[in-house]
Chain A
Amino acid sequence: MHIPDGFLNVQTWASAYLISAGSLSYGIKKSREDLSDRQVPRLGVMAAFIFAAQMVNFPVVAGVASGHLLGAALAAILLGPWSASLILTTVLAIQMLFFGDGGFTALGANVLNMAVVAVLAGFAAYKLFSRILPGALGRNVSIFIASWLSVMAAALMTALELGLSYSVHQVPVTLILIPMLGWHMLIGIGEGLITVAVVNFVEKLGFAGSRPGGGTEVRHRHEGGL
């Protein structure tokens, strides 16, 4: 859901840049407290994985629409929300600069939607549901719900920004909201399934320091949460 140049009016994309810049500088301050030497390569690798996975569009309705992993909940669950924001911002900046995916003017909005709001929504939902739902199954259900909600939150933000840019296309916000949320309800199912699979797989590999011996680091990370 990368917004290209031309979709947003100046007021909207400029405001989004300001809000994103503020959120990111807060996120950088917070992630300084979280980042250890061991975390640095993990951030690089998680960003690389999300970039690669975002290239793999899966069909939602064959021949009509597709979606791809967003990765905001994935990164937030594995590395905490502040690192996740840095990761998603890096991915979005590279996609825009090198691949023409998402516009230069829209980068602030894309960061706000996918690197800030999706990350915080996914992380908050994960914390909430994993506390309520017990056991390994409960955790996986929590990961699924968090991932689905992160996509819905980003889609809602995108629709609202497009709605604020009425002067560009003369389409009222309600007409944008309904199909944006409708399509992303389906795309979010893919997000949830992929995120559950990837979290379980990379934790088995020992990626997030969650192997025996890595426990203290995991606890520290979660204390630095929201």
Chain B
Amino acid sequence: MKAVYKVLLIALLVAAVLSPLASSSPDGLERVATDLGFIDKGEGKNIIDALIPDYLFPGIENEAVATAAAGVLGTLITFGAAYGLARLVKKREAGR
């Protein structure tokens, strides 16, 4: 297998196996916003209703499985989007 696709396989493994083990503590910005008392300014303000909120695939009871499913799907979508974008940028060069 080409090296580049080995790394894609590793990414999918990270999404499937490691993401359910992630720490659920607030990240740096959430910590600061909580401590300074403005975390609520961002709650319920989402302009776009996400299909998979909080990285939990809807309809799956088991949280670890829901996270892994969301992770694998997101990894594949991101691969496709960045691949497509790179090809688009490159194609324009060929036509220049």
Contact A47 B82 (CB under 8 A): yes
CB of A128 closer than 8 Å to a CB of B: no
Contact in complex: A52, B15 (CB < 8 Å): yes
User: Which residues of chain A have C-beta atoms less than 8 A from B92's C-beta?
Assistant: 32
Q: C-beta contact mask, B70-96 vs A, less than 8 Å → 1, else 0?
A: 110011111111111111011011001
Chain B residues within 8 Å of A50, by CB: 78
| CB closest chain-A residue, reference B21 | A56
**In the complex, residue of chain B having the shortest beta-carbon distance to the beta carbon of A97:** B48
Proximity bits, B34-50, A CB within 8 Å = 1, else 0:
01111001110111111
Interface residue ranges of A164-216 to B (CB < 8 Å): 168-169, 171, 175-176, 179-180, 183-184, 187, 202, 205-207, 211
Secondary structure at chain A's binding surface: helix, strand, loop or mixed? helix
Distance between A53 CB and nearest chain B CB, rounded to angstroms:
6
B94 CB, nearest partner CB in chain A, Å: 9
Least Cβ–Cβ distance between B7 and chain A, in angstroms: 5
27 contacts between A and B (CB under 8 A): A1-B28, A7-B41, A32-B93, A40-B83, A41-B4, A45-B79, A47-B81, A48-B75, A52-B74, A56-B22, A60-B28, A66-B23, A94-B77, A96-B48, A99-B55, A100-B48, A100-B49, A103-B42, A103-B47, A104-B48, A168-B38, A169-B36, A179-B31, A179-B36, A205-B3, A207-B4, A211-B3
- Residues of chain A whose beta carbon lies under 8 Å from any beta carbon of chain B: 1-7, 28, 31-33, 35-37, 39-53, 55-68, 83, 86-87, 90-91, 93-101, 103-105, 155, 158, 168-169, 171, 175-176, 179-180, 183-184, 187, 202, 205-207, 211
